[in-house]
Amino acid sequence: MAESNHIPEDVRQAVEGVRPAADIRLVAFSDLAPDGNFGEQFLALADDRLLVFSSDGERPALLKDLPFADVSKVEIETLVGGAALRAVVDGRREDLISFSHAMSDAFGRVRIQLDALIEGKPLPEVDERATRCATCGLFLGEYTRVCPRCLRKGATLRRLLGLTKPYTGRMVLIGSLMVGSIVAGMVPPFLTMLLVDRVLTLGTNYHLVIWLVLGLASAGLAHTGMEIWRNRIAAWLGARISFDIRAQLYERLQWLSMRYYDHHPTGTIISRLTQDANGIQDLLAFALPFLVVNVVTIVAVSVVLLAMNWKLALIAMVPLPILFILVRKLWRLLRRAFHNWWYRMRRFHGLVSDALGRVKVTKAFSQQQSEIGRYQFRNDDLRAAGVYADATAGTFFPLMWLIIGSGSLLVWYFGSMLHMYGGITLGMIVAFLAYLAMVQHPLEFLGHSTQWITRALTAAERVFEVLDAESESEQSRGEVELEEIDGEVEYRNVGFGYEKHQQVLKDISFKVKPGQMLGLVGKSGVGKSTIINLLCRFYDADEGEIFVDGVPLRDVSLWSYRGKLGVVLQEPFLFSGTVAENIAYAKPEATPEDIMAAAKIANAHDFIISKPDGYDEQVGERGNRLSGGEKQRVCIARAILHDPALLILDEATASVDLETEQQIQEAIGRLIEGRTTFAIAHRLSTLRNAHKLLVLDEGRIVESGTHDELRAKKGVYAKLLDIHRRTSMVGAIDG
């Protein structure tokens, strides 16, 4: 999309071909040709016409020309694998332009802009969500800004090394031990050379043997000792840095805004905490030290070999580049083969766990034979992948050793020739072979380490992305500290959308007096929970203002405000711990008597006491050892103990039976006394006593009043009541 002064020249020419000197207000390009093939067409709003051009030919061809004044609405029709922008003209829907999912966001913005113009508003600026790399255009999605293609490895590495700053002493020690162990590792071949040349070849100097053997033993011991020491420190350091990163990440995650969580699935966040943090540990504890050790070893050995005999050194090094290239290529093949095997193993596990989990159903429908068939197919698939992976590995390693061995063969051949002509000693040949063996493993490592290091750096960048994300505290620096809240709430012309181009709430205005109960009613997806999300200040309103006790909510200090809120949700959330700990979650200093008093009011005391461990009963992970109604009452007890001035009940009785609902209703009745309460309820009868009901439809308030007023009105609420009454009758009959 572009403003008229950024219109490409060919587009301008095309538009002016049909509308001379037109004011081009917006242009949007599709990635599909009119016939559905990948190609290009574009939509332009020029003067008062909506124009669509195909731009696949030499000159753009006009496909559609609609008077914009006739368009009453613009819609996006979701197709399979793409979508189409359509205009509603005289009640008819007219296809304008099709596009693939790649362009969905862009056309979402076009729809908003066109709709705004239809409503007579000025062309709005619509936030463009960056889903592509700004540098190379690679699609990144919404969940990351890290482009693996453009990753600046140097900068990431520097920042990563910054994490080791608190441990500089240990890093220096690791570096010193590394150098020491390399030097110690280079001593034995030299001593071996002396042993061969000065003792074994001459057959004299027997007194030297003891010193040389002692030297070999000392070098071996020093090398091993320093390696052990270095490895132990590296292991400590790696774990410590990983610990630090996970701690920083977790702390950051607690303060990140809800918008961040909306755009980052839980699985992605967990993988930041686990896989990415481990990737960094691997890099710092293993990959980087290995890299340094191996590079230094290769350089040091090369220098020594060249110094001993440069001609033989060059000959010995001939296979090394081949080894390096081969390892790089074959390692990729090997990795792919094992990944493939691992993927099939995962699918195989999925099949088995799925099949065993539904064994009763399988038997009930006599499907054992088909299950065996499915299993055999996956098993065969896994077998083939295993054979390929093992066969590849079985070919890779012998080939590698052959090439490694070829270096030794060259040394034997040319070394022997030189020896015969008196160029070098026998000891030197032996030392050459030993030094050569020292660089073969480092070369092998270097061959496949690039990808390992790149992956770890990408992981590090993803971790930094979370650490750098804007936190709630940064977004919500309200100045006003609320000591006490009376509970007056006012929404004034509030508009909001989770995505800026999709408004969920439109022009919402209402006022609730302190201590009143407000019921929110409407079908799913009409914006009831969104009103509550704004009250909790999980999000800030895009338009209008929310006031609490007359103070604009965005000026209120988040921490002082949230402490005055109490929430009971449809899905009661308990954490692993005792019943008492769960009730006292928001008030850890509560006494056992406070906790029991709250539980009593919440109709929870009796069931808690009847548990073997009473208030010390472990509720299990997510409270799974309690029933739905029990969990809900523990949550209500939690809210009672918290004693909030503002209470939010979001479908608190949606998933319980009638008897439990009655108990919960009683508990809620006691809870809401004297508190401003916002309630969403699936069962409309539970809102009968609300001071005011707001009926929502498509993000707007369509009716408001008391239960009796709205019932008498015979509007949307009355219709919902009727549906509810009929459903309850069916439920009662079924029950």
Chain contacts with another protein (rule: CB under 8 A): 32, 36-39, 75-82, 84, 86, 91-94, 98, 100-102, 104, 138-141, 148-149, 151, 336, 339-340, 343, 346, 377, 451, 454-455, 458, 698
186 or 457: CB nearest another protein: 457
92 or 207: CB nearest another protein: 92
281 or 458: CB nearest another protein: 458
Half-sphere exposure of 636 (CA within 13 A, CB side): 31
Amino acid at 322: I
139 or 206: CB nearest another protein: 139
445 CA to centre of own chain: 31
- Cα distance between residue 363 and residue 708, in whole Å: 54
CB of 615 to another protein, least distance (A): 44
The CA distances from residue 345 to 356, 359, 390, 703, in Å, are: 16, 21, 14, 57
CB of 149 to another protein, least distance (A): 5
CB of 148 to another protein, least distance (A): 4
Burial label, 572 (beta-carbon count in 10 A; 0-12, 13-18, 19+): buried
CB of 288 to another protein, least distance (A): 17
Buried b (16+ CB within 10 A) or exposed e, 487-512: bbbbbbebebbeebbebbbbebebeb
CB of 139 to another protein, least distance (A): 4
149 or 682: CB nearest another protein: 149
CB of 100 to another protein, least distance (A): 5
- Phi, psi of 515, rounded to the nearest 5 degrees: 85, -5
CB of 75 to another protein, least distance (A): 5
State the angle between helix axes of 628-642 and 658-672 in degrees (0 to 180), rounded to the nearest 10: 0
232 or 719: CB nearest another protein: 719
CB of 73 to another protein, least distance (A): 8
- Cα distance between residue 192 and residue 201, in whole Å: 12
- Cα distance between residue 192 and residue 314, in whole Å: 21
- Cα distance between residue 192 and residue 365, in whole Å: 75
Strand (E) or helix (H) holding 60: none
CB of 30 to another protein, least distance (A): 12
CB of 409 to another protein, least distance (A): 33
- Phi, psi of 452, rounded to the nearest 5 degrees: -60, -50
- Phi, psi of 667, rounded to the nearest 5 degrees: -65, -40
Strand (E) or helix (H) holding 127: none
72 or 591: CB nearest another protein: 72
336 or 726: CB nearest another protein: 336
- Cα distance between residue 134 and residue 139, in whole Å: 10
255 or 388: CB nearest another protein: 388
What is the DSSP code string of 291-320? HHHHHHHHHHHHHHHHHH-HHHHHHHTTHH
- Cα distance between residue 117 and residue 656, in whole Å: 48
Given a contact cutoff of 8 angstroms between Cβ atoms, the answer to whether 645 and 484 are in contact is: yes
93 or 159: CB nearest another protein: 93
CB of 343 to another protein, least distance (A): 5
CB of 79 to another protein, least distance (A): 5
98 or 192: CB nearest another protein: 98
Burial label, 732 (beta-carbon count in 10 A; 0-12, 13-18, 19+): exposed
133 or 187: CB nearest another protein: 133
